[in-house]
Structure 1
């Protein structure tokens, strides 16, 4: 890992980069540009670069009516995994999430074995598994055991 930069989604270029990472890692629930713009009104969306290379993205979702926990999601493109990027993005998100909520949760597509392994290694425990309407691959909701 050389020079990781984590920047907010604040223009069309960063929005399209965030979309590219999200849709590659979660192919069962791709998001349109308009859906991402809507998410920007309620979530913190950021993209991560190693120099000029796009390596990942993140979402920090504030607590909602359903939970007092903040949701942190760090995504790293497969070609950049196991190089410290996920750890750096996760720690960045975790700090933001702790400012917002009483606990930390994450949601990972069950087929993303690297993501599930990473979360469990960092102390997350499975809370539930759920399917989005029309999906065939479930998401796993995990909570950080602190």
Structure 2
């Protein structure tokens, strides 16, 4: 799905499987349990989240308070995923750079929800004066790396063996995209 396809579906001019199954809406306090459940799945089952044990409500509260934009994918089945953009660094020198992240329930991956979230976050980032977005991920997170490259992110650097999870050292891959 290209950004144009995602934009087209998001604007209601077309229909995609993701658009039919879920809607993007602002995250609210009531979403805390669902967001933590999704994030904690990745914390204990893979490299998409850096955490190696479940996080608590403070993680969610921090996002709700500090993110420029924080959305969930809502559906009749409940929250299927979430995404946010937050300040890259807390200094005015980086005011035009945002850091993106998103997590989709495993059974809904590769159905367009990540693309819808990405497009919405980029759109909102532009309205806040952000012109560059960055993402970083564990080198073992091959699916995340492919997703970002597919959406026009390029490799911007690599921090070698800075993390260790499940007894495995990993690199952090930095990626960015001008918006």
Shorter-chain TM-score bucket reads 0.7 to 0.9
Match of 1:94 among 112, 118, 122: 122
How far apart, CA to CA, are the structure 2 residues paired with 1:137 and 1:17? 28
The superposition leaves residues 110-136 of structure 1 with CA deviations (integer Å, 9 ceiling, x where unpaired) of 32211110100111112233435x654
Match of 2:64 among 30, 40, 61: 40
Does residue 15 of structure 1 match 2:15? no
Does residue 80 of structure 1 match 2:97? no
TM-aligned CA deviation for residue 63 of structure 1: 4.7
Structure 1 portions without partners, runs of 5+: none
Sort the Cα spacing of 1:25 and 1:4 in 2 relative to 1 into closer, same or farther, 3 A: same
Q: Output the TM-score relative to the length of structure 2.
A: 0.68
Q: Output the TM-score relative to the length of structure 1.
A: 0.81
Higher helix share: 2
CA contact (8 A) 2:88 2:134 kept: no
Counterpart of 2:154 in structure 1 is 125
In the alignment of these two chains, the number of paired residues is 144
Sort the Cα spacing of 1:60 and 1:73 in 2 relative to 1 into closer, same or farther, 3 A: same
Flag the structure with larger Rg.
Answer: 2
Paired residue secondary structure (2:110) = coil
Structure 2 portions without partners, runs of 5+: 1-16, 45-49
Paired residue secondary structure (1:6) = strand
Paired residue secondary structure (2:98) = strand
